């Protein structure tokens, strides 16, 4: 649905060059919620602004819904007709809502429809439908100043949906909100994704946001995508920084002569009661030191840190048992070396 190839963006100001994007190949599938996470300055906003051509990339291509936007003429406010039409099918939600304070909630939602040339009756019908969709039917005549942050963001989302976009881009839509409001906005984005089949590309610096709503995620560092995949694929990648950050586990061995292993659950293996099977098969007591599990699509995914009695050499068979069941097992610590010191 969204593909970028070799996307670069170099800002030039006062003789200085900043490379914000350095060859980004992004692929967002139709109907998924895709999260891009990264530290401040990693290039996340630059990426999202290049995807809808608010910012003209220095090189590379952007294709949205089969149309190569980078091939269309014009930039910024001087975008050509085709580019403006393409852009109207991409909704954008902003961190600070960007509502017009002098206009009512309804008039804010109608604004993009005015620009698209819809008639007055059509605009108000559509705006009221959208406000109903985001749970704000009763606030149509209020002004932005009379709303809470979460309500303002709902207006922002309704406005983004006015042009009936297939794609919604969100730049830190929840980072100005408290945790509970954040959850309700994320839930709304998920609902819209499911009900309207909307593809959502969101950027964030909060791992929780990715964990709550995203099907896929990418990690950005210094203008590059360093990891990317579905949550399940990331979990299946040994050493994945994103998987470790999404499902952090900790916990130390309780005594010497113990083996601590991290077991990653993803895919079909995740539904089997492997830990109890392991315990029964080898008649061993297993302690759970830590776990970060979540249910994604009805399946448990995540990581668990468990402790097995005995040193690593004594646990080769139980570890093999887990691996045979399709689980990824990494030995976090074994007290064998310490014992040898």
Q: Which residues bind Mg ion (CB under 5 A)?
A: 45
Q: Is 42 a residue that touches ligand ATP (CB under 6 A)?
A: yes
Residue closer to Mg ion by CB (options 173, 234) is 173
**Could you tell me the end-to-end alpha-carbon distance of the chain, in angstroms, rounded to an integer?**
56
Residue 157's Cα: distance from chain center in Å?
Answer: 17
Which of the listed partners (ligand ATP, Mg ion, none) does 13 bind, with a CB threshold of 5 to 8 Å by partner kind? ligand ATP
3-state secondary structure of 212: helix
Please pick, from the candidates 24, 35, 38, 263, the single residue that binds ligand ATP as defined by CB under 6 A: 38
Binding residues for ligand ATP, rule CB under 6 A, total 13
Strand pairing of 299-309 and 258-265?
A: antiparallel
CB 164 within 8 A of CB 116: no
Residue closer to Mg ion by CB (options 42, 235) is 42
Residue nearest Mg ion, Cβ-based? 45
Residue closer to ligand ATP by CB (options 17, 180) is 17
Per CB under 6 A, which region of 38-46, 144-152, 207-215, 305-313 contacts ligand ATP? 38-46
Q: Is 281 a residue that touches ligand ATP (CB under 6 A)?
A: no
3-state secondary structure of 190: helix
Which of the listed partners (ligand ATP, Mg ion, none) does 139 bind, with a CB threshold of 5 to 8 Å by partner kind? none
Per CB under 6 A, which region of 43-51, 131-139, 268-276, 300-308 contacts ligand ATP? 43-51
Q: Shortest approach of Mg ion to residue 45 CB, angstroms?
A: 3
Residue tagged 């570890």 (tokens) = 319
Give me the residues paired with residue 62 across strands.
4
Closest-CA residue to 223 (of 17, 79, 76, 15): 17
Q: Is 46 a residue that touches ligand ATP (CB under 6 A)?
A: yes
Which of the listed partners (Mg ion, ligand ATP, none) does 101 bind, with a CB threshold of 5 to 8 Å by partner kind? none
Q: Per DSSP, which regions of 29-177 are E strands?
A: 33-38, 59-64, 67-68, 90-93, 167-171
CA 188 → CA 1, 91, 179, 242, distances in Å?
Answer: 21, 15, 14, 24
CB 220 within 8 A of CB 227: no
- x/- site string to ligand ATP, residues 115 to 154, per CB under 6 A? ----------------------------------------
3-state per-residue secondary structure call for 118-157: CCHHHHHHHHHHHHHHCCCHHHCCCCHHHCCHHHHHHHHH
Closest-CA residue to 2 (of 225, 222, 288, 201): 201
Please pick, from the candidates 7, 20, 33, 202, the single residue that binds ligand ATP as defined by CB under 6 A: 20
Q: Is 11 a residue that touches ligand ATP (CB under 6 A)?
A: yes
Please pick, from the candidates 56, 89, 205, 325, the single residue that binds ligand ATP as defined by CB under 6 A: 205
Q: Shortest approach of Mg ion to residue 102 CB, angstroms?
A: 27
Please pick, from the candidates 6, 18, 323, 339, the single residue that binds ligand ATP as defined by CB under 6 A: 18
Per CB under 6 A, which region of 37-45, 142-150, 209-217, 315-323 contacts ligand ATP? 37-45
Q: Shortest approach of Mg ion to residue 335 CB, angstroms?
A: 45
In angstroms, the CA 325 to CA 224 distance is 35
> Binding residues for ligand ATP, per CB under 6 A?
11, 13, 18, 20, 38, 40-46, 205
């Amino acid at each position: 649905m969204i593909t970028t190839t070799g996307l670069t963006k170099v800002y030039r100001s006062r003789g200085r060059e900043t490379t914000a994007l350095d060859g980004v190949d992004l692929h967002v599938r139709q109907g998924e919620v895709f999260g891009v996470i990264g530290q401040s300055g990693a290039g996340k906003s630059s990426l999202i602004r290049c995807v809808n051509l608010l910012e003209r990339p220095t090189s590379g291509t952007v294709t949205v819904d089969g149309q190569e936007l980078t091939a269309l003429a014009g930039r910024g406010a001087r975008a050509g007709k085709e580019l403006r039409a393409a852009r109207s099918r991409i909704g954008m939600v902003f961190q600070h809502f960007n509502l017009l304070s002098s206009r009512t909630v309804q008039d804010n939602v109608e604004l993009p429809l005015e620009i698209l040339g819809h008639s007055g009756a059509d605009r108000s019908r559509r705006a009221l439908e959208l406000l109903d969709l985001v749970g704000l039917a009763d606030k149509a005549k209020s002004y932005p100043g009379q709303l809470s942050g979460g309500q303002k963001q709902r207006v922002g989302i309704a406005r983004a949906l006015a042009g009936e976009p297939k794609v919604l881009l969100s730049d830190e839509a929840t980072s100005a909100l408290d945790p509970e409001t954040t959850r309700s906005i994320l839930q709304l984005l998920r609902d819209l994704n499911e009900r309207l089949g909307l593809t959502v590309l969101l950027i964030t610096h909060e791992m929780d946001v990715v964990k709550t709503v995203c099907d896929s995620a990418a990690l950005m560092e210094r203008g590059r995508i360093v990891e990317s995949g579905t949550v399940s694929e990331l979990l299946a990648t040994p050493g994945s920084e994103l998987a470790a950050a999404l499902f952090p586990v900790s916990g130390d061995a309780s005594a010497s002569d113990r083996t601590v292993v991290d077991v990653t659950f993803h895919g079909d293996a995740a539904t089997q009661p492997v830990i109890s099977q392991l315990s029964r098969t080898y008649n061993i007591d297993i302690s759970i030191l830590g776990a970060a599990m979540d249910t994604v699509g009805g399946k448990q995914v995540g990581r668990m840190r468990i402790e097995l009695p005995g040193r690593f050499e004594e646990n080769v068979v139980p570890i093999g048992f887990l691996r045979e069941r399709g689980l990824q097992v990494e030995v976090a610590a074994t007290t064998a070396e310490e014992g040898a010191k």
